[in-house]
């Protein structure tokens, strides 16, 4: 083990309590915080060669932790996203799935779904993927589009929906 590697590991061990505090602030759960610290420590050790001595060490490992937390959150959000492939979007329109117990609520969901269907697919598809938690780069790769086009279409769709659904926001 080289002196540089030993110094890196000593610094990493010295930051464990700070990492635990930060992890707890992110997760609000002791067990999840412990898992996050462990995952961050492992990732830092795996990427030790990428660390340059002139970089703020604490900031570097905190950035690793924040990125792991965000990626895990997005992965969980994607896994928990319901994709309705039924005819007429049955699950999206059902009152059980929308937590709406009134006939008016179900009617509103139907109206909103109709409005969303009016947006051309080349705009609505990137927007749907973005809402499902995919990153802009991932969407661009999936749809074989330039990154700027994806961002523009998501922005345009968001603006169109805000205008078309303005009556429902009141």
pLDDT tens figures, 72-95: 888 777 776 666 566 665 555 554
Q: pLDDT higher for 36 or 117?
A: 36
Tokens for 150? 């994806």
- Give tens-digit pLDDT for 131-154: 778 888 989 998 999 999 999 998
Distance of CA 47 to the CA centre of its chain: 23
Q: Residue 144: what pLDDT?
A: 93
Name the pLDDT band for 167 (thresholds 50, 70, 90): low
Do residues 165 and 112 make contact, with C-beta atoms less than 8 angstroms apart? yes
| HEC per residue, 93-154 | HCHHHHCCCCHHHHHHHHHHHHHHHHCCHHHHHHHHHHHCCCCHHHHHHHHCCCHHHHHHHH
pLDDT tens digits, one per residue of 8-45: 899 999 999 999 999 999 888 899 999 999 999 999 99
CA 31 to chain centre: 21
CB-based burial label for 31 (10 Å; 0-12, 13-18, 19+): exposed
User: What distance in Å separates the CA atoms of residue 13 and residue 29, rounded to the nearest whole number?
Assistant: 22
Across residues 99-108, what is the average pLDDT?
50
Residue-level pLDDT at 85: 61
What is the Cα–Cα distance from 61 to 47, expressed in whole angstroms? 10
Residue 28 phi, psi (nearest 5): 60, 25
* Residue 14 pLDDT: 93
CB distance 8 to 51 below 8 Å:
yes
Burial 122-141 (b: 16+ CB within 10 A, else e): ebbbbbbbbeebbeeeebbe
CA diameter of the chain: 70
pLDDT of residue 53: 81
């Amino acid at each position: 083990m080289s002196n540089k590697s030993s110094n890196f590991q000593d610094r990493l061990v010295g930051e464990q309590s700070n990492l635990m505090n930060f992890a707890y602030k992110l997760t609000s759960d002791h067990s999840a915080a412990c898992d996050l610290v462990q995952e961050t420590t492992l990732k830092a050790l795996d990427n030790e060669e990428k660390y340059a001595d002139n970089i703020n060490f604490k900031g570097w490992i905190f950035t690793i932790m924040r990125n792991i937390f965000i990626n895990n959150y997005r992965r969980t959000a994607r896994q928990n996203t319901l994709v309705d492939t039924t005819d007429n979007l049955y699950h999206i329109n059902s009152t059980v799935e929308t937590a709406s117990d009134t006939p008016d609520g179900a009617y509103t969901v139907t109206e909103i779904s109709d409005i969303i269907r009016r947006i051309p697919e080349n705009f609505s598809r990137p927007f749907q993927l973005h809402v499902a938690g995919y990153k802009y780069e991932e969407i661009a790769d999936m749809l074989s589009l330039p990154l700027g086009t994806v961002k523009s279409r998501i922005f345009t769709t968001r603006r169109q929906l805000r205008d078309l659904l303005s009556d429902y926001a009141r």
